[in-house]
Amino acid sequence: MALRAEPTESQTTAPTSTSDEPLIFCENLVKIYKVADLEAVALQGLDLQIQKGELMAIIGNSGSGKSTLLNILGGLDRPSAGRVLVGGRDLLKMTEGQLVKYKREVVGFVWQQTARNMLPYLTAIENVELPMVISGNYNAKQRAWARELLEVVGLSGRMKHKLSEMSGGEQQRVAIAIGLANRPPLLLADEPTGSVDTKTAATIFDMFRHIRDQYGTTIVIVTHDPKVMSKVDRVVAIRDGKTATETIRRVAIDMADFAAGSIVLGETHDEFVVLDGAGRLQIPREYLDKLSIKKKVRLELDDDQIIIRAIPGEEEDGKRETTSRRWGLR
């Protein structure tokens, strides 16, 4: 009789994810809030993929849907439509019980308002130990982990201080340690530098990178701080609840210097416009205004580029410009 490998119970119920699949997969994600008779569309068909171990930032104006997206990824809110998978788990199909487990084991949160997940009358170390105590697996090993986390965020000398005796920047660092207490593979930070000064903000961004490098944590930071660009691998901009552009940081070697015998590492940023699943892209408002484009454009395929042209009759005030904007698509 031939031997046949049967999938075990754990294999069939484990999340279906392989290493080359993205950790986070959002497709056509929609979130509508209903307040009285009014509907607010916070996300309108957002597409986003985040790789395991990525350190990335989401930027966008106030009201563009950043917190909504983060709350959905963190299992705090459910989308109205679309798909969202984290590590192969379909967040739309999870039961309440599965969501509770997901929030405890898979995601850590850091908020702008540190008060949201901390108790001011407890010490820093007690605050970090609290999630471990709550999840019922507190022991000597966990205590050592709490100490390690406070060292990682640069607070080894302040562990026994009450939070109420700490500065805003120090409290935010404790908040990061708390977010990591249950060793989540995914850390979500909503405006983590929103209420600290520029220097502390830079330190906090560096800390996120260090954490990613050391523990392999996938980190998603929501911010409107443009300085984040030089601190993360990738920045995705969202506009009106949809992913609009994407900027990837690259370290480039200056070939002229290389030829001259020295290597100079410089940073370049490649900015892309993101197409959604249906092939739509969002043209920046300032481009539309510059060419007075209102409702229609002319599209031309020209070998390796697509040209978007304003239609002269479209312009108001009789401004008959025939300027065009060339978009080189890679």
Minimum distance from residue 236 beta carbon to ligand ADP (Å): 13
C-alpha dihedral (267, 273, 277, 279), degrees to nearest 10: -140
Q: Would you say 112 or 142 has its CB closer to Mg ion? A: 112
Minimum distance from residue 211 beta carbon to ligand ADP (Å): 23
Listing DSSP states for 92-150 in one string gives TT--HHHHHHHHHHTEEEEESSGGGG--TTSBHHHHHHHHHHHTT--SHHHHHHHHHHH
β-strand partners of 40: 33
Asked whether the beta carbons of 135 and 104 are under 8 A apart, the reply is yes
Q: Would you say 125 or 238 has its CB closer to ligand ADP? A: 238
The 3-42 site mask, x for binding ligand ADP (CB under 6 A), equals ------------------------------x-x----x-x
123 binds ligand ADP (CB under 6 A): no
Q: Would you say 38 or 259 has its CB closer to ligand ADP? A: 38
Q: Would you say 68 or 218 has its CB closer to Mg ion? A: 68
- Closest-CA residue to 247 (of 263, 231, 264): 231
Q: Would you say 209 or 224 has its CB closer to Mg ion? A: 224
Q: Which amino acid is present at 223?
A: T
**Burial zone of 209 (CB within 10 Å; 0-12 exposed, 13-18 middle, 19+ buried):** middle
The partner in contact with residue 168, picked from ligand ADP, Mg ion, none with C-beta cut-offs of 5 to 8 angstroms by kind, is none
Q: Whole-angstrom Cα distance, residue 51 to residue 209?
A: 15
Minimum distance from residue 64 beta carbon to Mg ion (Å): 9
**Burial zone of 154 (CB within 10 Å; 0-12 exposed, 13-18 middle, 19+ buried):** middle
The 53-72 site mask, x for binding Mg ion (CB under 5 A), equals --------------x-----
The partner in contact with residue 89, picked from ligand ADP, Mg ion, none with C-beta cut-offs of 5 to 8 angstroms by kind, is none
- Closest-CA residue to 74 (of 39, 116, 115, 40): 116
Sorted by sequence, the CB contacts under 8 Å of residue 130 that are 6+ apart come out as 119, 122, 178, 181
Q: Would you say 71 or 217 has its CB closer to ligand ADP? A: 71
Minimum distance from residue 42 beta carbon to ligand ADP (Å): 3
Question: What residue has token string 């307040």?
Answer: 35
Q: Would you say 170 or 190 has its CB closer to Mg ion? A: 190
Question: What residue has token string 């009759």?
Answer: 313
Minimum distance from residue 66 beta carbon to Mg ion (Å): 5
The 260-279 site mask, x for binding ligand ADP (CB under 6 A), equals --------------------
Provide the token pair at 289: 């205004």
The partner in contact with residue 64, picked from ligand ADP, Mg ion, none with C-beta cut-offs of 5 to 8 angstroms by kind, is ligand ADP
Q: Whole-angstrom Cα distance, residue 310 to residue 295?
A: 10
The partner in contact with residue 42, picked from ligand ADP, Mg ion, none with C-beta cut-offs of 5 to 8 angstroms by kind, is ligand ADP
The partner in contact with residue 217, picked from Mg ion, ligand ADP, none with C-beta cut-offs of 5 to 8 angstroms by kind, is none
Site for ligand ADP in 55-114 (CB under 6 A): 60, 62-68
Binding site for ligand ADP (CB under 6 A): 33, 35, 40, 42, 60, 62-68
Q: Which residues bind Mg ion (CB under 5 A)?
A: 67
